[in-house]
C-alpha cells in the first residue's frame, strides 16, 4: 500500500525539503547494500565505504547525490514519515510506487509508471488501484478544485 497525501501539512513527521533533511539527518545513517544499489541505479554513482560517491564525471560527497535519489533514501530510511515526492522525476516516482508501506506527499499528478496491482490510499480514506485509479482520482480532484474555484 502507498499512503498518498495531497494536502501539505507542516508537521515534524513530514519531510518537505528533501535535500536539507537528507544532508542533515539521513546522510548520517548507515547505508546498506540495497541503498548502494539504488544510488547506482538512480545516479549512476558508486558509494564508497568512506561516504564518497564516484561517478564518471569525478568524485564527490554524498551531499552531491541528486534530489530524487535523496528523496528515495529519505523515504526508505524514514518509513514513519510523510515525504514530499514533488521534486522527483518520473524515474524515481516509478521506483517509489513499486515500494510498499511508504507515505508520500504530492499535490499534483505526474506521469510515471504505476503497476496495475499497486494499491494507493489517498488522504487516508480513498483507495485506488494502479495508474488508471490514480488518474481517475486526480481527474475528479481537479473537477472539485474547479468547482471550489481553487
Q: How many CB atoms lie within 10 A of CB 103?
A: 21
Q: Cβ closer to other proteins: 60 or 130?
A: 60
Q: State residue 113 phi and psi, 5-degree precision.
A: -80, 130
Output 69 or 104, the one with its CB closest to other proteins: 69
3-state secondary structure of 36: helix
Binding site for other proteins (CB under 8 A): 16-20, 42-44, 57, 66-69, 71, 84, 86-92
The closest alpha carbon to 92, from 80, 107, 79, 104, belongs to 104
Half-sphere exposure of 24 (CA within 13 A, CB side): 6
CB of 95: closest distance to other proteins in angstroms?
A: 9
The SS3 assignment for 49 reads coil
Shortest reach from residue 96's CB to other proteins, in Å: 11
Nearer to other proteins, 63 or 144 (CB): 63
Nearer to other proteins, 82 or 133 (CB): 82
CB of 36 to other proteins, least distance (A): 15
User: Which lies closer to other proteins via its Cβ, residue 67 or residue 129?
Assistant: 67
104-133 burial: b if 16+ Cβ within 10 Å, else e: bbbeeeeebebeeebebebeeeeebebbeb
Minimum distance, C-beta of residue 45 to other proteins, in the bound complex (Å): 8
Q: How far is the CB of 69 from other proteins (least distance, A)?
A: 6
Amino acid at each position: 500500500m502507498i499512503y498518498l497525501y495531497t494536502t501539505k501539512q507542516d508537521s515534524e513527521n513530514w519531510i518537505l525539503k528533501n535535500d536539507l533533511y537528507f544532508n542533515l539527518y539521513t546522510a548520517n545513517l548507515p547505508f546498506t547494500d540495497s541503498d548502494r544499489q539504488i544510488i547506482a541505479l538512480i545516479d549512476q554513482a558508486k558509494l564508497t565505504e568512506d561516504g564518497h560517491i564516484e561517478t564518471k564525471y569525478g568524485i564527490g560527497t554524498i551531499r552531491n547525490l541528486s534530489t530524487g535519489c535523496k528523496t528515495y533514501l529519505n523515504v526508505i530510511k524514514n518509513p514513519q514519515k510523510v515525504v514530499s515526492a514533488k521534486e522527483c522525476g518520473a524515474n524515481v516516482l516509478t521506483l517509489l510506487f513499486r515500494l510498499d508501506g511508504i507515505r508520500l506527499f504530492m499535490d499534483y499528478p505526474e506521469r510515471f509508471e504505476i503497476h496495475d496491482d499497486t494499491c494507493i490510499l489517498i488522504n487516508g480514506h480513498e483507495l485506488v488501484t494502479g495508474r488508471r485509479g490514480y488518474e481517475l482520482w486526480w481527474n475528479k480532484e481537479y473537477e472539485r478544485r474547479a468547482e471550489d474555484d481553487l
